[in-house]
Chain A
Amino acid sequence: MVGQRKWNRRIAAFVFLLPALIGLAAFQLLPMASSVIISFSDWDLLSKWTQIHFIGWDNYADVFKDDKSYTSIKNIFIFLIGYMPFITVLGTFFAVLLNRNIRGIKFYRAAVFVPVITSWVAVSIVWRWLLNGQSGLVNYLLSLVGIQGPIWLQDDFWAMVAIIAVTVWKDIGFVSIILLAGLQDISDDYYEAADLDGASAWRKLWQITIPLLSPTLFFVVTISLINSFQLFDQVLIMTNGGPAGATSTIVEQVYRNAFQFNKMGFAAAQSWVLFVIIFSVTMVMQWLQRRWVVYER
């Protein structure tokens, strides 16, 4: 009987997992493995794949010699410096407010998420228009209060500011809703106990909300880091990596090298360097989480 049940379980596990396993193996792991192989070749994406020619570690050596790779990594870190504080602090603030049981809260919750569901292609075009100097609304509004708006997307400083601001605009809803979910998991008992002790709102925030929200915060930070390192769509449409490489990013370089400069092998090597960066960052986050995060119960 017991043996029968064990077999049933194995068969069930196999049946349930099979579609996902086949799909992930064929459509994700296999292409990933192929890209490792490509990264050791000088494939130009013009000759047929069967004529691929291997050159050892040269592409990886070139990645570390390539100025543009460094620039793009540097830009990502500049992006993170602007983006992460906003997304975490503002996101937490939004989530705390959205957690209130007030009238119209359903509308507010629905509204913050609208930018998240739309495509980067569409919103990038809308923002390119809003930030346009000739007919853009942003500089018009600035001119009403007597400020001469910058050349947003063509200035090597303001272009990055614009990219950060627009990305915060698009992602803040996602972060807030995830954090809201985390907040709703915190039992009211803690707050009631604190109220009995006469704790201030500020103290409650730091002593209860933040520590108990920390697992969700870590999740949000990790996901945001993974996404930030792959920053691409908005850059391609809004600035095309310019001006003079000021908003160039790693994936933008990968795309350019692969499809415009015919250096697929080099692009694959760049991707795997990126993979190592993201993987390390994720591992570090996991490690930090284990050390710092407070778990309920």
Chain B
Amino acid sequence: MRGRAWMIKNGMIHLFLLAASVTLLFPFVWMVSGGFKDSLEVVKMPPQLLPSHWNFDNFRQIEQFFPLYRFLLNSVGVAVATTVLQLLVCAMAAYVFAKIAFKGNQAVFMLFLTTMMIPAQVTMVPLFILFAQTNLIDTYAGLILPGIFSAYGIFLLRQNIMTIPNELLEAAFMDGASYYRVFGSVILPLIKPTLAALTIFAFMSSWNSFLWPLIVTNSKELMTLPLGLSKLQGKWSTEWNLLMAGNVISFLPIFGVYLFAQRYFIKGMTMTGIK
């Protein structure tokens, strides 16, 4: 029973969503295309959508500028470690806030939330002093530790765990399962989609973090990609082809993680039932 009105309406929706997607994605197309143009073509007027030939010189030039692969490897390692640990720590805490009643539960949770309200720029120096006092400067631990504890992650997972029916947990306890068993074999499997959503957020914030790695690392062996890319900007502030090539390098890995996790992602966001 699909009439004419339906067709028009459906067409309009497609048209609109397509226009929106193009607007939202176009800067990335432009970025990738710019990363493969040479320095003359990139400023050519009228502009050309795609490079006339795809050249990799920009990437080779960046390679000479800082140890690209080492920085890339560090970024991946730090982001993966941060994400895994953050998921675990947040899920554990969220379980308590959602399902294990204790005195002061609410107050502690609120305290966690207030940490989102103070700019990181001002807590960074005391944090650095703490790390200097504990000899964590210029170590992987120094890079990873501060990223693990996320009030936002706890909040997201708590919302989801709260929607799990208590009867389900009670049944598991009846079967003689311990709290740890319930967490591992009931809670975690049920919140997988939300964990996928948090994976994206956690990976993203570690991958893109700049100020903290800047001050906490001293040696090249430990530096991450954003630090390398920042070296490009001062020198080549208007060499768009090189800057775009740098952006492509930083964009592709996170885009890959997103493509991988996004199947569960929408579902995960839905299941948090944010209210």
Alpha-carbon distance between A8 and B148 when the two chains are bound, in angstroms: 27
Alpha-carbon distance between A41 and B267 when the two chains are bound, in angstroms: 49
Tell me if A102 and B14 are in contact (CB < 8 A): yes
Judged by a CB distance under 8 angstroms, whether A79 is at the interface is: no
Tell me if B275 and A226 are in contact (CB < 8 A): no
Tell me if A126 and B27 are in contact (CB < 8 A): yes
Tell me if B119 and A251 are in contact (CB < 8 A): yes
Chain A contacts for B1, CB-based, 8 A: none
Question: Could you mark each residue 232-269 of chain B with 1 if its beta carbon is under 8 Å from any beta carbon of chain A, else 0?
Answer: 01000010100110010011001100110010011001
Alpha-carbon distance between A100 and B12 when the two chains are bound, in angstroms: 12
Q: Most chain-A Cβ atoms within 10 A of its Cβ — which of B47, B180, B233, B270? A: B270
B263 to chain A, nearest CB (A): 9
Alpha-carbon distance between A173 and B21 when the two chains are bound, in angstroms: 10
Tell me if B119 and A117 are in contact (CB < 8 A): no
Tell me if B254 and A118 are in contact (CB < 8 A): yes
Closest to B14 in A: A102
Judged by a CB distance under 8 angstroms, whether A150 is at the interface is: no
Closest to A271 in B: B122
Which among B27, B125, B229 is the interface contact of A127 at CB below 8 angstroms?
B27
Judged by a CB distance under 8 angstroms, whether A295 is at the interface is: yes
Chain A contacts for B258, CB-based, 8 A: 113-114, 117
Question: Could you mark each residue 238-268 of chain A with 1 if its beta carbon is under 8 Å from any beta carbon of chain B, else 0?
Answer: 0000000000001100110011000010011
Tell me if B93 and A181 are in contact (CB < 8 A): no
Alpha-carbon distance between A17 and B102 when the two chains are bound, in angstroms: 11
Judged by a CB distance under 8 angstroms, whether B123 is at the interface is: yes
Judged by a CB distance under 8 angstroms, whether B165 is at the interface is: no
Which A residues from 167 to 196 make CB contacts under 8 A with B?
Answer: 169, 172-173, 177-178, 180-182, 184-185
Using a Cβ cutoff of 8 Å, how many contacts connect chains A and B? 241
Alpha-carbon distance between A94 and B16 when the two chains are bound, in angstroms: 9
Question: Could you mark each residue 10-45 of chain A with 1 if its beta carbon is under 8 Å from any beta carbon of chain B, else 0?
Answer: 101101110111011011111110110010000001
Judged by a CB distance under 8 angstroms, whether A9 is at the interface is: yes
Tell me if B154 and A20 are in contact (CB < 8 A): yes
Judged by a CB distance under 8 angstroms, whether B164 is at the interface is: no
Total count of chain A residues near the partner, CB < 8 A: 90
A230 and B115 in contact, given A10-B102, A13-B102, A117-B258 (Cβ under 8 angstroms): no
- The stretch of A63-71, A128-136, A154-162 in contact with B is A128-136
Alpha-carbon distance between A27 and B124 when the two chains are bound, in angstroms: 9
Alpha-carbon distance between A97 and B208 when the two chains are bound, in angstroms: 31
Judged by a CB distance under 8 angstroms, whether A153 is at the interface is: no
- The stretch of A54-62, A80-88, A203-211, A273-281 in contact with B is A273-281
Closest to A219 in B: B274
B185 to chain A, nearest CB (A): 15
Tell me if B92 and A254 are in contact (CB < 8 A): no
Closest to B270 in A: A181
Judged by a CB distance under 8 angstroms, whether A111 is at the interface is: yes
A225 to chain B, nearest CB (A): 11
Alpha-carbon distance between A12 and B92 when the two chains are bound, in angstroms: 10
Alpha-carbon distance between A268 and B131 when the two chains are bound, in angstroms: 20
Tell me if B151 and A24 are in contact (CB < 8 A): yes
Tell me if B208 and A121 are in contact (CB < 8 A): yes
B134 to chain A, nearest CB (A): 9
Which B residues from 137 to 154 make CB contacts under 8 A with A?
Answer: 145-146, 148-149, 151, 154
Tell me if A216 and B274 are in contact (CB < 8 A): yes
Chain B contacts for A274, CB-based, 8 A: 118-119
Tell me if A13 and B21 are in contact (CB < 8 A): no
Tell me if A129 and B34 are in contact (CB < 8 A): yes
Alpha-carbon distance between A29 and B178 when the two chains are bound, in angstroms: 32
Tell me if A30 and B122 are in contact (CB < 8 A): no
Chain A contacts for B13, CB-based, 8 A: 97, 100, 102
Judged by a CB distance under 8 angstroms, whether B135 is at the interface is: no
B240 to chain A, nearest CB (A): 5
Closest to B152 in A: A223
Tell me if B42 and A98 are in contact (CB < 8 A): no
Which among B14, B119, B129, B244 is the interface contact of A126 at CB below 8 angstroms?
B244
A20 and B121 in contact, given A28-B115, A123-B27, A125-B247 (Cβ under 8 angstroms): no
Tell me if A34 and B200 are in contact (CB < 8 A): no
Which B residues from 213 to 234 make CB contacts under 8 A with A?
Answer: 226, 229-230, 233
Alpha-carbon distance between A180 and B274 when the two chains are bound, in angstroms: 11
The 9 sampled A-B contact pairs (Cβ below 8 Å) are A12-B180, A30-B130, A97-B17, A114-B25, A121-B208, A122-B229, A177-B269, A258-B125, A278-B117
Q: Which residues of A contact B (CB under 8 A)?
A: 8-10, 12-13, 15-17, 19-21, 23-24, 26-32, 34-35, 38, 45, 49, 94, 97-98, 100, 102, 104, 107-115, 117-123, 125-127, 129-130, 132, 134-135, 137, 140, 169, 172-173, 177-178, 180-182, 184-185, 215-216, 219, 226, 230, 232, 250-251, 254-255, 258-259, 264, 267-268, 271-272, 274-275, 278-279, 282, 295
Other A-B pairs, 9, CB within 8 Å; known A129-B243, A169-B27, A275-B117: A27-B127, A28-B115, A108-B20, A114-B24, A117-B204, A129-B244, A135-B45, A140-B45, A140-B47
Q: Which 10 A-B pairs have the closest CB atoms?
A: A119-B208, A23-B149, A34-B126, A12-B179, A20-B93, A31-B123, A31-B126, A135-B43, A111-B21, A271-B122
